[in-house]
């Protein structure tokens, strides 16, 4: 589904991603872990071109999205993204937050978007918040809305950048539960997280990033039971 070839990214003369080649299959749940500053967010943001790669190519379902000929907006709509800090529109109701993009991009009419909002809000247990504003919600509720908002665009893949890192501990579970449900439904997911339980339970593959490289990867059981690289072992000893 996503084919990354020789991807490098520099900010000025700081090389942040160093010649990464990686494939993500449809239905995979790829969990990315690694120390702060290792390039996890930059890698995720390159996948939907929120960052422009310095070199290399990214192909999404056969379309090279790094090609100047590609309509980036059209491709980006197929990739939902959820951020650490929710990024909801503060001046809009929850319903409007969810329906704005699908209506504005003409993916659907307002009535259909409203229906979808109603259905999804029910699924994440937030039906009564449709007419509330983001400021009236807890962090966990805001993040569940951010997930719903991304899903309303009917994406083919969901990218999550530390979706629970800004949450109080008691709210982490409610967000991870929504993500687990999504995984069970077969969504293709790429998740940057420090939640090792989630990586173990939900991940089909764990990638360990360090210094702009994917240093090591494996299926979760083997990854956590038998890490091979010393830097992976050191990292895991700090987070587990």
CA 218 to chain centre: 19
**Based on CB atoms, which residue is closest to ligand ADP, 86 or 235?**
235
CA distance 215 to 138: 36
φ, ψ for residue 203 (rounded to 5)? -65, 140
16 in contact with ligand ADP (CB under 6 A): yes
36 binds, among ligand ADP, Mg ion, none (CB under 5 to 8 A by kind): ligand ADP
Instruction: Provide the Cα torsion 47, 116, 31, 4; round to 10°.
Output: -20
Is the Cβ of residue 39 or residue 139 nearer to ligand ADP in the bound state?
Answer: 39
Task: Return the number of the residue (12 or 62) whose C-beta is nearest ligand ADP.
Answer: 12
- Interface residue with ligand ADP among 38, 99, 188, 218 (CB under 6 A) is 38
42 binds Mg ion (CB under 5 A): no
Residues 6+ apart with CB under 8 A from 11: none
Cα separation of 145 and 75, whole Å?
Answer: 22
Using CB positions, name the residue nearest to Mg ion.
41
Q: Closest distance between ligand ADP and the C-beta of residue 150, in Å?
A: 19
Of 216, 215, 231, 213, give the one whose Cα is nearest residue 17.
Answer: 213
> What SS3 state is found at 93?
coil
Stretch that binds ligand ADP, among 35-43, 198-206, 221-229, 230-238 (CB under 6 A): 35-43
Q: Which of 31, 39, 41, 202 binds Mg ion (CB under 5 A)?
A: 41
For 147, the 3-state DSSP assignment is helix
* 218 binds ligand ADP, rule: CB under 6 A: no
Residue 42 binds what, of ligand ADP, Mg ion, none (CB under 5 to 8 Å, by partner type)? Answer: ligand ADP
The residues that touch ligand ADP, with contacts defined as CB under 6 A, are 11, 16, 34, 36-42
């Amino acid at each position: 589904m996503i084919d990354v070839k020789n991807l490098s990214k520099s900010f000025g003369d700081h090389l942040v991603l160093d010649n990464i080649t990686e494939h993500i299959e449809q239905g995979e749940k790829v969990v990315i872990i690694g120390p702060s500053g290792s390039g996890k967010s930059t890698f995720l943001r390159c996948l939907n071109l929120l960052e422009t790669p310095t070199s290399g190519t990214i192909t999404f379902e056969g379309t090279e999205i790094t090609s100047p000929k590609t309509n980036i907006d059209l491709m980006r709509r197929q990739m939902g993204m959820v951020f650490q800090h929710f990024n909801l529109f503060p001046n809009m109701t929850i319903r409007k937050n969810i329906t704005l993009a699908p209506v504005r991009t003409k993916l659907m009419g307002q009535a259909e978007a409203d229906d979808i909002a109603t259905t999804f809000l029910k699924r994440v247990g937030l039906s009564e918040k449709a007419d509330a504003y983001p400021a009236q919600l807890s962090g966990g509720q805001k993040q569940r809305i951010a997930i719903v908002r991304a899903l309303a665009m009917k994406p083919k893949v969901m990218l999550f950048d530390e979706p629970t890192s800004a949450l109080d501990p008691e709210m982490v579970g409610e967000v991870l539960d929504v993500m687990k449900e999504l995984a069970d439904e077969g969504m293709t997911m790429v998740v940057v997280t420090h939640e090792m339980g989630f990586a173990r339970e939900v991940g089909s593959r764990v990638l360990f990033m360090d210094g702009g490289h994917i240093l090591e990867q494996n299926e979760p059981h083997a990854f956590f039971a038998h890490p091979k690289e010393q830097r992976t072992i050191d990292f895991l000893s700090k987070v587990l």
